[in-house]
Structure 1
């Protein structure tokens, strides 16, 4: 049985305080103080939970205890109707008011009006004094009991709060776990990898739906089946060996896969071996393509240099162990650049592809064909009986390339220079490659379209070639060149019409170097441009000097050979001719420029533009060595050509066969039809001169009339009639 009363008191701050009074047979102050202390104590606990410092929490706890004590004492005084001063002072202490503002009697009246049960409380308190006396003997003991009870209630409240928070957290955690499990299941179900669980008896107890895409089988068809039936008999079991293996598709084919295995037989939720299987067909195909691209030429599909050298090293090592003979052939297409420039790079690429296919037909199964770059190919021949076998393959290469190629609806004839190097005991693979390369250059230098077997003397020639290249650069720098002239004769009366300028090199140590030796080097190194400018200038000045010496009105012209390099960049040659003829004081009409068909093929549009501008200056143009290489009648039609120089090979065979005579006659008739002059080169015999006169050839040159002579000697010849007619 307990009786409680509530009263409200106002403090100066304007806030109201609620006083709860109890008359149960316990210490009234402890009861009312407990609840007033519990509320701030809970607040303190909350503050501590959110991270308030311990010092702040302790200070707040002390204040809460003090407030609770004052509230308890004040409540007791009011209930027991004690003297006013004590009541007033307690009220002042509790309400934080000034003593003069508190009237004990007025406070008691207000409490009495505010609570009709105050009298009943007082009566109850009187009946409970005996109980109170039990506790009054030891006030501190009662206060300690009240504090302990308060702490118990605080612990209970905090425990309930923690329980509530834990319940909320557990529920949310369960929801998150369920969501994560759902997400995980979705990921597993939609994974591109097949997840398959194999039970203890080797049967499949579960798998993901991707099995339909990977193996063409349904989940129902796989679950319960024997897993071993899916594995190729020659492969290790993926249950014991992770890595690649072959899985049986529903259509009976075998596909490349790889897998890892995790033993979860002790896991009650799984109870088996978990395989994660990945389809690696696309990856393997990509690796194969990358491997093929790394070791094969993308244009022709032949082996590239890296693969060729690797196979050659293996063959050399095998030859050292077993004594087996092998050879390397270098194949270089002659004048391929001319075809490439004339018909375009697409046609040139097609020619390389067709050439590669023909070369492949010349080999046996164990041999290797490779494209080293550009128009260079290499053949590796293994298990040969001797040099005869390598020479036979080289001849098959010539025969295969002799047939015309049809590209862009045009027939193209090509030939190749082939170098052959046999492996000798102790020879390194690098030496084998170098020797084949030197033999190929020897074949090209010997006239192209042929093959040469490497000989040690070729190494010496290569060393001389390297040394000559360095000397050539020095010769350009030190101006070691000079110009000789070979007369051009009117075959009708033997008079000299002009002369062809021919460059010569006087080496300070080696003496005179043949043009056949240094002109190709000059072309390769680009020095031909500087040499060509020198020759053009010398020839123009020499022609101007001849005119001063000639007594007749028929003044001689000078002919100068040009390299295709001199036409690059476009317009350069035209500007150079203007400048040099102006410096020499020579009328451009007395200048004849000789070009080969390669000039017309290299860049048709720019060549035509430059030749047209030269024609506008009065310069005449001649096609040199007509009838060799890639002769085409369209050049004579499309370009401003004035003179055609018939190659010396036609003149050499005159009178020796009907076919040769008919060929020369056809060239002369063509010139007459196109209103072009024909010059016959290489006249060395009187019989040749007679034939050419009978065929009405207008101009000729050759040793029959004069060898190349110096400019000074030629000036004397101009004053005389032709020495032989």
Structure 2
């Protein structure tokens, strides 16, 4: 079939042949100056014309391109992949697509393609135009933005958003799936002690190893600073999934940095099967994280499968946290109980221990064993601790004026939490409370558990010295239940050791148990500390402790924690434990 004379004339003009038509000559120059790639093809998909940018893409000249197909220059695959577009253009459609093209020099370029019919004056289709615009830089920017949005920069894994997207796709298709969360235990401590660089190397190593071992999962994502998620599509095969999880736990234990450094790692793992009640992907992720938290509460290095009771427990915890914050803000439902501390030899009143209580307006008394852990997990315990300290200081200042004339000043013991010890402003807070309440610092005894002190021994020693410089007295609570080191114990600027109730209650069971209490008291005397025994329940407990020369004691044998008005009657008055029974 011979070419249409009119399209031949156009091709001659665009090719630089003399045309006598200034408009066509100008058009040719404009096309050659453009970066857009333009070609005119005949119905057999052969080049009739191409501008300079198009020819550079093909690595050829116009005279060599005319009469050839794109496949002869850039490969048969491109010829095949654009066949349908050419056919649609020859049928009268204008079609726009985009995709990657490999140039003659081997470079990959991302282009938008426009295939449009070329029509003669009578409207007949005599060929088609191909117009290509290079969009590589825009595509690279889009890809970069996509990676930033959906991938973790440290490990290269998918991130939380990508995980949610995949779960949404499963949900839309009605495909069942199971989600596993693997949270590295103590990762914050490892990062703070070993450095962010070391931590990132560990995470990268974990990502590579998990990718090699996670054939059972469709997607691995990093969903938080130290947590990974694994998504498994299809009906849950629990034994097979648990075996795969065990393999991942082993991968965590064998993690190492790229420089060869190792540290023992374990992971708390939570698992949840997607259920009809999960309306959104976020609901599945929430329940997996709840199960992970349960595994962590059990000591870490474990796995827990979600059940609805876990969610109910978390909802209850959140409500209690909200109510506790409200109680602290209003100050109306919180109060302080005071348990007497008795001088064991004389039976006289030596002081009190301040104990927080919460009388919920709807639920009544909330035990400290329930609301204190909530306060600790949320950091609210720092504010609560300051509130209790202030109340206790105000109360002991009032009671000092009511004690028996000539008697030693009463002291007030107040418990401290690990969070308060970690607060860099804590010493200043104590200083301000002392100033506001006008209390003598020597009347206040702050109690710290030995595990809290020894967790960061050197830092704790500096803090205790700063508190001691204020004139505050200090005591180690629950002594014997933690992991005190004698090498540090003698360095601690403390005044008292408090023997844990578990030792007191076991004294009558064996000579060995009594020996433990005796050793603690001998150690305290050797180091210049006095001893307070807690949990004294019976007169037999009290008598044995007196025989062991214990300095102070407290427990139900003397009195339970009392409301302020009842406790105040003990100051300067008759003491019930001294009365005949």
| TM-score, normalization by structure 1 | 0.54
**Separation in 2, partners of 1:597, 1:221:** 84
Deviation, structure 1 residue 235 = 0.2
Please name the residue that 2:233 is paired with: 382
Aligned position for 2:434 = 580
Specify the alignment match of 1:249 in structure 2: 103
Give the alignment of 1:664-683 within 5 angstroms. Answer: 667-672=485-490, 681=500, 683=502
- Structure possessing the higher radius of gyration over alpha carbons: 1
Among 289, 304, 315, the residue aligned to 2:170: 315
CA–CA separation in structure 2 for the residues paired with 1:330 and 1:424: 17
Which residue number corresponds to residue 272 of structure 2? Answer: 421
Q: Which residue of 1 aligns with 2:389?
A: 536
Contact 1:402 1:413 in 2 (8 A): yes
For residues 404-483 of structure 1, the aligned pairs below 5 Å read: 415-424=266-275, 428-429=279-280, 431-476=283-328, 477-483=330-336
Indicate the SS of the match to 1:710. Answer: coil
> Alpha-carbon deviation of 1:540?
2.8
Q: Is the 8 A contact 1:420 1:454 kept in 2?
A: yes
Alpha-carbon spacing, 1:392–1:487, altered in 2? closer, same or farther (3 Å): farther
SS of the residue 1:471 aligns to: helix
Secondary structure of the residue that 1:329 maps to in structure 2?
Answer: strand
Structure 2 unpaired stretches of 5+: 1-20, 89-94, 525-530, 537-552
Distance 1:527 1:208 in 2: 72
Q: Mark the CA change 1:435 to 1:232 in structure 2 (over 3 Å): closer, same or farther.
A: same
Residue 295 of structure 1 is aligned with which of 150, 159, 162? 150
Take 1:407 and 1:694, find their aligned partners in 2: how far apart are those partners? Answer: 49
More helix per residue: 1 or 2?
1
Cα RMSD after superposing both structures? 5.3
**Is the alpha carbon distance of 1:354 and 1:246 closer, same or farther for their aligned partners in structure 2, counting shifts above 3 Å?**
closer
Distance 1:586 1:394, change over 3 A: farther
Q: What is aligned with 1:236?
A: 82
Deviation at 1:707, TM superposition (A): 4.7
Please report how far the alpha carbon of residue 546 of structure 1 lies from its aligned counterpart in structure 2 after TM superposition. Answer: 7.0
Q: Kindly tell me: are residues 564 and 425 of structure 1, through their superposed partners in 2, closer, same or farther at Cα, counting changes over 3 Å?
A: closer
SS of equivalent to 1:443:
helix
Aligned to 1:91: none
Q: How far 1:507 moved relative to its partner?
A: 3.3
* Contact 1:486 1:701 survives alignment (8 Å): no
Tell me: CA distance 1:400–1:188, structure 2 relative to 1, closer, same or farther (3 Å): same
CA displacement 1:532-569 (0-9 Å, x = unmatched): 2221023334555479758776975624314637976x
Residue 366 of structure 2 is aligned with which of 497, 510, 513?
A: 513
For 2:158, what is the secondary structure of its paired residue? coil
- Whether 2:218 is the aligned partner of 1:367: answer yes
Q: CA deviation at 1:369?
A: 2.8
* CA pair 523-246 structure 1, distance change in 2 beyond 3 A: closer
- Give the Cα–Cα distance (whole angstroms) in 1 for the partners of residues 454 and 259 of structure 2: 19
CA distance, structure 1, for counterparts of residue 414 and residue 408 of structure 2: 19
Deviations 1:118-162 (Å, cap 9, x if unpaired)? xxxxxxxxxxxxxxxxxxxxxxxxxxxxxxxxxxxxxxxxxxxxx
* 1:665-702 deviation line (CA, Å, top 9, x unaligned): xx123433677787665643334563465476425755
Partner Cα distance (1:223, 1:572) in 2: 84
Q: Tell me if structure 2 keeps the 8 A contact 1:540–1:558.
A: no
Task: Determine which of 49, 52, 57 is the counterpart of 1:209.
Answer: 52
Q: Distance in 2 between matches of 1:558 and 1:410?
A: 45
Partners of 2:575 and 2:462 in 1: how far apart?
Answer: 39
Residue 334 of structure 1 deviates from its aligned partner by 5.1
| CA displacement, residues 290-328 of structure 1 (integer Å, 9 cap, x when unaligned) | 33333334454333333322322343465x57xx6x322
Q: 1:408 and 1:478, CA in 2 relative to 1: closer, same or farther beyond 3 A?
A: farther
Q: Deviations over 1:315-353 (max 9, x none)?
A: 3465x57xx6x3223444556556667777777766665
Is the aligned partner of 1:276 residue 2:131?
Answer: yes
Instruction: Give distance in 2, aligned partners of 1:344 and 1:363.
Output: 28
Larger RCO: Structure 1 or Structure 2 (Cα < 8 Å, ≥ 6 residues apart)?
2
The offset of 1:518, in angstroms, is 1.5
Matched residue of 1:479: which SS? coil
**Shift in CA distance, 379/209, structure 1 to aligned 2, threshold 3 Å:** same
Aligned counterpart, 1:304: 159
2:6 aligned partner: none
Question: Does the CA-based 8 Å contact 1:439-1:458 persist in structure 2?
Answer: yes
The alpha-carbon deviation at position 487 of structure 1 amounts to 8.7
Give 1:48-59 correspondences, 5 Å limit: none
What per-residue deviation string (whole Å, max 9, x for no partner) do you get for residues 353-380 of structure 1? 5665565566325432334445554332
Q: Deviations over 1:590-635 (max 9, x none)?
A: 4436489999999x99x9998775454234677xxxxxxxxxxxxx
Asked whether the 8 Å contact 1:232–1:247 carries over to 2, the reply is no
Match of 1:648 among 481, 487, 495: 481
Q: Name the structure 2 match of 1:192.
A: 35
Question: 2:178 is matched with which residue: 324, 327, 345?
Answer: 327
Count of residue pairs brought into register by the alignment: 499
Q: State the partner residue of 2:515.
A: 690
- Deviations 1:204-224 (CA, angstroms, capped at 9, x unpaired): 344333356534445565455
Name the residue aligned to 2:416. 561
Whether the 8 Å contact between 2:334 and 2:359 is mirrored in structure 1 is: yes
- Which range moves more in the overlay, 428-437 or 342-351? 342-351
**Aligned CA distance change for structure 1 residues 582 and 246 (closer, same or farther; 3 Å):** closer
Taking the aligned partners of 2:218 and 2:387, their CA distance within structure 1 comes to 50
CA displacement 1:462-485 (0-9 Å, x = unmatched): 343244234324433253333456
Q: Could you give the per-residue CA deviations for residues 245-277 of structure 1, whole angstroms, max 9, x where no partner exists? A: 66553356875544334555859xxx9754322
How many Å separate the matches in 2 of 1:558 and 1:328?
48
Question: Matches of 2:24 and 2:480 in 1, distance apart?
Answer: 89
Other-structure match for 2:5: none
Q: CA deviation at 1:530?
A: 3.9
